[in-house]
Structure 1
Amino acid sequence: MEQKHFVGLTEQEVLESRSKYGENLLTPPKETPWWKLYLEKFGDPIIIILLVATAISLVFGIIHGDFTESIGIIFAVLIATGVGFWQEYDAKKKFDAMKSDKDYEHVKVRRDGTVLEITKDQLVVGDIVILAAGDEIPADIELFEAIEMKVSEASMTGESVAVSKYPCRDFKGSGFAPNLLLRGTTIEQGLGEGIVVKVGDSTEIGKTTRQASEETNNKTPLEEQLDGLAAKINVAAFTIATIMFIILNIVHWMDNDFSWTWDTLLTEVRFLMGAVVVIIVAVPEGLPLSVTLALAFSMKTMAKENNLVKKMHACETIGAVNVIFSDKTGTLTQNSMTVVDTDIKPENKELLNVIGALNSTANWSHDSQVLGNPTEGAILKFIGHKQTEQLRSEYHTVSCIPFSSLYKYMVTYVEKRSDGSRLMMIKGAPEVIAKLINKDDYLAEVSNQQARGRRAISAAIIHGLTFEELKAVLDNGETLKDNDYIGTWFIEDPVRADVPHAIGQCYKAGIDVVMMTGDNLKTGSEIARQAGFKDIWAIEAKDFNEAIKTEHATREFPNVIARCTPTNKLNILKWAQEKGYVCAMTGDGVNDSPSLNYADVGIAMGSGTSVAKEAADIILLDDAFPSIVTGVKWGRSLFKNIKNFLYMQLSINVSACLIAVFGPIVGVAMPFTVTQFLWINLVMDSLAAIALASEPADENVLSEKPRDRKEFIINKSLAKAIFGFGGLIWLLCTLVLWGMKHNVEFLSHMNLTVFFAAYMVLNWWNLFNARVIGKNKSIFDGLGRNLKFVGVALGILFVTIVIVQIGGEAFQTVPLSWQTWGYIILFTSPVVIVRELWYRLVSRK
């Protein structure tokens, strides 16, 4: 076997292996073509209702030779689906620009007795790969030879500290075997050789990537709500249409004798057309476009605040989240080992820096980046680039004993260039150094620091021995008699400075935060404490199923889960979703990607792996956990804006439907034309949606609890407002129509143009009420700060006046005098005056 390792595969064996096990390429996630992305928008239930209404109106359009309403509805559908498609397509293009491909980097292999360089994709099972510090592992490899090898598995396990790798057999512990190198991880120290055991999709990263790209078919909370709303609108529309058809028949045949003639058939067709008009009125044609515009506006705004939203509905879903499952490394922490404390006497500070700078294999790059072992790199960063280089220029190394995981220390013997004086220094694990120098009084502090999840490196100076004498003492396991303990560095991957405040905001907003990490229990618990976690309940992932069976004083399930594999994370996430939680998952590594894919909203770090970003719905461009809180704020505010718009549009639909049904009863067959209805539903409501979507995020939403996912979007209070205002407008308009028909003195001079204009302006005034509905504040609060809303609102009034003045035959209107417009605006203004008086005199108290 050793001979085969030395020789490697022959060319024929390479071909046979590639034929049997495949190429070393990860199958990319299936790209959704642009046309399919667009067609998916037609799956919206309200879009489907509109398409049915289009088909019905086309039939009657053929009969009557008038396709106005059909064209209007088709226009609404195309605009709504087009805007939604473009926003997601644009986000996809931005995301694609972030991706990179590493399948064609070069690796060294032994083949047929020769060392060759081939591209990563050419590797096959059985290849012998030569590896060294800095290499990214190109496939899953079993080591058969290694020298002081340490590998960073952070992308696969989340553990921030590099792990030792060495040949072994029959590994029975937890986690990945020490002789197994995983594709996508990086060698930080040492060198070795190994045999490729898995390539491409069969590797651990390949399996994880597959889970990250699976179709989950999960519906977002907003999609569930809009599906329910569409079903109710569908039932209501056809019920009202049926009632109207019956009423029209009763009213007509009460005064006429019924007999089956051609005229009777035409009369029934006319009545049926009237019922279809009611369906068109009842269905809010502008709703899909309005919701899409609101989501699109939030996408744009969130991108400015470092939330790149890939999937439009994620804008709102993040606001419904009540549990955030977070990775530790790179999400809560900086993913950078840092010296956070020292145990040192003031007089020894300079000497400790000398040991840290000289007794090290780490180096500074030309662009001030630390290269090499992360622990030694942390010490160099603590000393500083300039001082490190200065100290190294003052000394030169005479001899060295490299660090070994076997004896856990490193010795360097240096000479000062200026005077030839020599210095023997040693650093390593505190308990090892204590035993060698026979001094352990500092170990109590070391123990305290290690209990907080920190790593400790101790240093000492050795006197009175030559380098050869020192080696002999160390080889014999003897104590070093003449020495000085200099100090200890305490190192950790520190919590990001802005995380504790963000965690506090999450708790205030009723959102639980759960850490799922591949790191050990002690480190995970300490990081959680530093991050501001409440009521910490820490377990290892393997114990999760047993832990949730036991009662806990304050929690339903643990909030620190250590030693998590990708499968553990996914299973725990699915358990929480089955319990009814709306779950967000944050992460940056390959190990996070399946959970990012299956979460209600997956949030990846911008500096994370391409697999994680591919699986996510939102990418944090600044890698900052507080940006998630910003996303929650926008998501909750967006949902409120959508509800405000629903109040605006559905109150119009309620009043318009009732006016259409009762108009014939009071003698006005068609109070509004189909074109006028479509104008109100499509153009006016869409502009209103833009105005309401421009309302900035409300900080107060972070003081509220997450909404109940199962609660219908039209709750009791909103339903009262919709039917209350809609019913009031219907009653007023019906009385006006009756007065117009029966020549009531005050109303006899009115015509249907004035009626249409007044109805439009009534609802325009209601736009100001819609902005603050459910917020218990004045319509003037924040109005001056939202110039977009003011601008769009004035634009709506302007367009309303223009369409009435120039509508002509298409809208069946005649121009009105400016005096008439003044009266209309004045007499409809009580819509806001009464509401504002109610707020100031009753509600505010």
Structure 2
Amino acid sequence: MAPVETRSGLSSAEAAERLRDGKGNAAPDGSTRSLWAILSANVFTLFNGIVFTGFALLLVLGRWQDALFGLPALFNTVIGVVQEYNAKRTLDRLAVLNAPSARVLRDGSEHEIAPAGVVLGDILVLRAGDQVTADARVVETDHAGPNGIEVDESLLTGESDAIRKAEGDEVLSGSNVVSGTAFAEVVGVGADSYAAKLTVEARQFSLVRSELRGSIDRLLRWISWALIPLILVVVNGQMLAFGGWSTALQSGAWREAAVGAVAAVIAMVPLGLVLITSIAFAVSGTKLARDQVLIQELPAVEGLARVDALCLDKTGTVTTGDMVFNTATELSVVAGWEAVLGRLGTDPAANGTARCLAAPFGDAPTLDVSAEVPFDSSRKWSAFATAGQGETCAAGTWVFGAPEFVLAETETAAAQAALIRTGALAEAGLRTLILAHSSEWIVPGERPELPGGLVPVAILSFREQVRDDALDTMAYFAKQGVDVRIISGDDPRTVSAVAREVGIEHTAGVDARTLPEDLGELAEVMERERVFGRVTPQQKRAMVHALQRNGHVVAMTGDGVNDALAIKDADLGIAMDTATPATKSVARIVLLDGRFERLPGVVAEGRRVIANIERVSKLFLTKTTYALSIGLIFGLLAWAFPFLPRQLSITDGLTIGIPAFFLALMPNADRYRSGFLARSLSFAIPAGLIVTAGILTLHIVANAIGPFTETEIQSAATLTLAGIALWVLAVLARPIHPFRVLIVLAMYAGLALVWAIPFVRDFFEVTWLPAPLGVVVLLIVGAGVVLVEILRAWHLRRTTQPS
């Protein structure tokens, strides 16, 4: 490959030719699952295999009326595919809008292009906050020798320390620039580069590890294992009920036995539970997307509902992130300090605060810099040395940064007076920085040290605008029992002033330099304090770990590279719209319009999902419990299964399928409580056993007072099951809400219509009951209703007791 001139880069023609030759940085679209993956996940499942096998068997036997369960299963599968595909399209569009960009030199000028447009040999222009979009080798930096840019490779290696990259060193795509400026020649592109892999992985559809999904998956594994022996028991029991295997096969009764076996097995499959959960997540994801909240992993809507500790970065989250220059106060007469500030403000690698100096001081004379130490978030200062320009600027080293860091080892009276003045400004809520001068020469290196003899020259103060919605949002979290902690790299007094402005009660801001390194001791401090300043990126991550160690579910918000580590390790990472691409890539949620007030809406959406899924899961698990129990008991006792599949379609649709769909999408503000699976099973198992007891009682009593026809027995069993199961629905639909009441009444009306309309009654092979059998059904249902109410009272008392 021909060498590329650093200052000019490739020509447009060369770049286009390399792009045509397949040397571009295009990577597979991995923002979400492919359509085939969505189809596979929703169609090729164990439960679908069981359901559609039974469906096919009944069609072969000519019992299409009893194969109706296959249509809802197919319909549910289609709904799942459509919902997830719609969510995929929404996420894809939003992911494209928020994809990182690359800055390259083409034809001697700087261009910002999509990462896919980068080609082998391009010259990347790297500045602080940029994500490296292709593997590259540094060819020129803003410093010579051992100095260069600082790169955070934590997303690749897990190591939190920024790494200095000098000329000749390789920078990996997926890393991000912490400080400095450099030109780097692209040496690796496409799907094999780190950027492509990270971009695909960061935006691909995945299920967040959560109690809700974990519990459902664990439950489904248990049921899957239980189904194998239960199918054998049910099939054997049904064959024995029709005279034994030999007799049933010879007489053709095996057909009825097969129908009964299919009915029993299909009833055991909680097919709709996963579907309803997926639909609830998908609907929430698309709803939040309309509100400019990007859910990079759909089940993350559950995450914020579980959060009880919210860590907020001050700048860009609680405040707008826009710094405005306030005042410059001269402390010592040293020539050229205005020119120094102008040089700092117009530096292409300047951060947001330094750029505020461009307007008031940008017209100052240009300075010749011979050595420079770029800003580093851990040391919190930058410096450069100049040989001087006569009366325009004094020779020596100029240091610019946080006062207590810049003057940490300067014990002069002037330094102490400057610290007192900056402290007073910080307590007033202003961000303060100091410019100091030394006649000594700074020596750049991996661990540069401040020169001696520093003299404070000027105090710079900056204002931050608190977000208009911050106060109300903080009040919401306080009301909801979420402890908010503000964590910032700024002066703790400044952070404390902002915290007071948004209504956070605290004693005083804690200087993070005094925090213990031991995680246990840090956890104790985190429980007591709410406001922290001078926090390093490593400490932000340690704070998240400390809170998690104490059992908290932690959310972390931020927008800077220095927040990426903590956002990555938090239970739920939230990035603002102004966040760097690297920070967005590790966040679960991105607030696309940067409106802090969106967070309460996400909390409410997550709580709605969790509470409603728990509600409907009890319906599905109640059905699974009584289906397993009835199938096992009737199979072991060799009794004919008391339902036709089509009759179970009635009870499934009216007591679970239809109402669950609506209940899962209704408003619900219940607070999150851990123990989802234990609570669900502690209600569903007894409720399912109540239904089972009712069916067994009906079977025994009906045989004792009979004889009754098979259709009458099946009709009585269907009414008994529906009567008790509908009351379970009525109990779970509480507290009373007009729409929930309407749903329950509609299901009762649907059951009545099945018996009231002749052709429907004939289709489902149900009939009006003889008076004696009708009385038995009413008594059993009445007893079941009483037992369900007792169960509700017991369960409510048990689950609301303080742990």
Normalised by the length of structure 2, the TM-score is 0.65
Alignment of 1:96-115 (within 5 A): 96-98=92-94, 99-100=96-97, 107=105, 109-110=107-108
Alignment of 1:790-809 (within 5 A): 790-806=741-757, 807-809=760-762
How far apart are the structure 2 equivalents of 1:624 and 1:116? 32
Match for 1:446 among 398, 422, 438? Answer: 422
Match for 1:810 among 759, 763, 768? Answer: 763
Alignment of 1:159-170 (within 5 A): none
Aligned to 1:489: 461
- Shift, 1:800, TM fit: 2.5
Aligned to 1:635: 606
Alignment of 1:40-51 (within 5 A): 40-42=40-42, 47-51=45-49
Amino acid at match of 1:455: T
Instruction: Write the deviation string for residues 425-479 of structure 1: whole angstroms up to 9, x where unpaired.
Output: xxx98999999xx9995651214556999323799xxxxxxxxxxxxxxxxx9x9
- Shift, 1:697, TM fit: 2.7
Structure 1 residues 629 and 763, CA, compared in 2 at 3 Å: closer, same or farther? same
Contact 1:584 1:603 in 2 (8 A): yes
How far apart are the structure 1 equivalents of 2:15 and 2:27? 20
How far apart are the structure 1 equivalents of 2:277 and 2:200? 33
Match for 1:52 among 50, 53, 56? Answer: 50
Q: Secondary structure at the match of 1:337?
A: strand
Match for 1:78 among 69, 74, 77? Answer: 74
Amino acid at match of 1:95: L
Amino acid at match of 2:432: R
Contact 1:212 1:595 in 2 (8 A): no
- Shift, 1:199, TM fit: 6.7
Contact 2:564 2:583 in 1 (8 A): yes
Aligned to 2:697: 735
Residue 331 of structure 2 is aligned to residue 334 of structure 1: no
Structure 1 residues 334 and 555, CA, compared in 2 at 3 Å: closer, same or farther? same
Match for 1:648 among 619, 622, 625? Answer: 619
Contact 2:242 2:253 in 1 (8 A): no
Residue 639 of structure 2 is aligned to residue 688 of structure 1: no
Q: Secondary structure at the match of 2:668?
A: coil
Contact 1:309 1:617 in 2 (8 A): yes
Residue 212 of structure 2 is aligned to residue 222 of structure 1: yes
Structure 1 residues 611 and 328, CA, compared in 2 at 3 Å: closer, same or farther? same
Aligned to 1:348: none
Structure 1 residues 23 and 601, CA, compared in 2 at 3 Å: closer, same or farther? farther
Aligned to 1:367: none
How far apart are the structure 1 equivalents of 2:419 and 2:575? 40
Aligned to 2:591: 620
Contact 1:339 1:489 in 2 (8 A): yes
Instruction: Write the deviation string for residues 262-294 of structure 1: whole angstroms up to 9, x where unpaired.
Output: 755745665455333221122233333333344
Contact 1:156 1:589 in 2 (8 A): no
- Shift, 1:688, TM fit: 1.8
Amino acid at match of 1:760: A
Contact 1:521 1:562 in 2 (8 A): no
Residue 285 of structure 2 is aligned to residue 289 of structure 1: no
Number of residue pairs the alignment of both structures matches: 722
Alignment of 1:677-756 (within 5 A): 677-682=648-653, 684-701=655-672, 704=673, 707=674, 713-715=676-678, 718-743=680-705, 752-753=714-715, 755-756=717-718
Contact 1:294 1:689 in 2 (8 A): no
Structure 1 residues 261 and 607, CA, compared in 2 at 3 Å: closer, same or farther? same
Q: Secondary structure at the match of 1:335?
A: strand
How far apart are the structure 2 equivalents of 1:556 and 1:751? 63
Structure 1 residues 793 and 186, CA, compared in 2 at 3 Å: closer, same or farther? same
- Shift, 1:644, TM fit: 2.1
How far apart are the structure 2 equivalents of 1:204 and 1:523? 40
How far apart are the structure 2 equivalents of 1:265 and 1:581? 65
Aligned to 2:729: 767
Match for 1:498 among 449, 455, 470? Answer: 470
Instruction: Write the deviation string for residues 75-106 of structure 1: whole angstroms up to 9, x where unpaired.
Output: 33333333233333223323333324786988
Instruction: Write the deviation string for residues 623-672 of structure 1: whole angstroms up to 9, x where unpaired.
Output: 35564454344434433322222322332443455556667999984432
- Shift, 1:802, TM fit: 2.8
Contact 1:61 1:70 in 2 (8 A): yes
Amino acid at match of 2:214: E
Normalised by the length of structure 1, the TM-score is 0.63
Q: Secondary structure at the match of 1:286?
A: helix
Contact 2:577 2:590 in 1 (8 A): yes
Aligned to 1:463: none
Alignment of 1:459-474 (within 5 A): none
Amino acid at match of 1:813: V
- Shift, 1:407, TM fit: 8.1
Amino acid at match of 2:56: L
| Structure 2 unmatched runs, 5+ | 156-160, 331-336, 370-382, 390-399, 437-452
How far apart are the structure 2 equivalents of 1:269 and 1:118? 71
Contact 1:23 1:200 in 2 (8 A): yes
Aligned to 2:224: 234
- Shift, 1:677, TM fit: 1.0
Aligned to 2:396: none
Q: Max radius of gyration: which structure?
A: 1
Q: Secondary structure at the match of 1:644?
A: helix
- Shift, 1:673, TM fit: 1.3
| Structure 1 unmatched runs, 5+ | 159-172, 345-354, 364-371, 382-387, 412-427, 460-476, 772-778
Amino acid at match of 1:756: T
Structure 1 residues 608 and 439, CA, compared in 2 at 3 Å: closer, same or farther? closer
Alignment of 1:829-840 (within 5 A): none
- Shift, 1:337, TM fit: 1.6
How far apart are the structure 1 equivalents of 2:533 and 2:419? 28
Contact 2:687 2:788 in 1 (8 A): no
